[in-house]
């Protein structure tokens, strides 16, 4: 898996969220550098877990939709008679 990269805007939003979490939940102030360092750590060490979960969830959704489409296609079948009517 390639390294997870975020845009500058995405990274800034994440930094602010980390800082707010530390401030509100842990009563600690962290700077931008510390917050960014923590984000990079989680992206590198745990990002694969989140990425894989997203893939599994997408695969499940796609499988469900394909099954729905198959059911809809079967509903379009026309009845056919087998044998001779005569």
Tell me: pLDDT of 71 over 70. yes
User: pLDDT: is 3 or 52 the higher one?
Assistant: 52
Asked if the structure places residue 82 within a domain, the reply is: no
What's residue 86's pLDDT? 55
Asked if the structure places residue 83 within a domain, the reply is: no
Length of the chain equals: 86
Closest to 30 (Cα-Cα) out of 39, 19, 17, 40? 19
Asked if the structure places residue 3 within a domain, the reply is: no
Overall number of domains in the chain = 1
Range of the domain at 52: 8-74
**pTM score above 0.75:** no
Q: Is 22 exposed, middle or buried (0-12, 13-18, 19+ CB in 10 A)?
A: middle
Asked if the structure places residue 30 within a domain, the reply is: yes
Asked if the structure places residue 86 within a domain, the reply is: no
Asked if the structure places residue 65 within a domain, the reply is: yes
Distance CA 61, CA 74 (A): 20
């Amino acid at each position: 898996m390639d390294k997870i990269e975020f845009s500058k805007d995405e990274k800034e939003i994440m930094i602010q969220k980390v800082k707010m979490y530390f401030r509100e939940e842990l009563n600690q102030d962290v700077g931008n550098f510390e917050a960014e360092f923590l984000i990079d750590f989680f992206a590198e060490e745990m990002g694969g877990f989140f990425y894989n979960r997203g893939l599994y969830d997408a695969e499940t959704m796609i499988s469900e939709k394909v099954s729905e489409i198959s059911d809809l296609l079967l509903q379009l079948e026309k009845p056919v008679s087998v044998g001779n009517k005569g």
